[in-house]
Structure formats: C-alpha cells, structure tokens
Amino acid sequence: MALLVGFKGNRVGLMMYLAGHLTRALQALPDTHPALIAGQLLYWVPRRRQ
C-alpha cells in the first residue's frame, strides 16, 4: 500500500520501480520461471478504475 501512495497513481513510475526489483527476485529465486515473477509483480500494479 505504501508503494501505491508513494507513486500517487503514476503507474509507469511504479512499473519501473517494480522492474528494478525483478532482477533481484530472479537472483533470489533461481528455480522460478521469470514469467511467474513478472506476473506476480504485474498483479500488484493498480488497475485503471472505470
């Protein structure tokens, strides 16, 4: 939740921040497929409200 407040709706900035953590996650979880990690990161990106 703190991430969402910090980026104040700037989804591009949030995705860049999460992409920076993807490399560390791949190093920490070498047996996990990168698509699974990326999917988990994208799941937490705020959805556009209609």
Rounded to 5 degrees, φ, ψ at 2 are: -60, -35
What angle, rounded to 10 degrees, do the helices at 34-43 and 11-28 form? 150
Task: Give how far the C-alpha of residue 5 lies from the chain's centroid of Cα atoms, to the nearest Å.
Answer: 15
Mean pLDDT of 35-41: 77
> Does the structure show a pLDDT above 70 at 46?
no
> Above 70 in pLDDT, residue 50?
no
Confidence of residue 33 (pLDDT cuts 50, 70, 90): confident
pLDDT at 4: 47
pLDDT for 7 equals 58
Torsion over CA of 13, 16, 47 and 29, rounded to 10 degrees? -150
- Structure confidence at residue 1 (pLDDT): 42
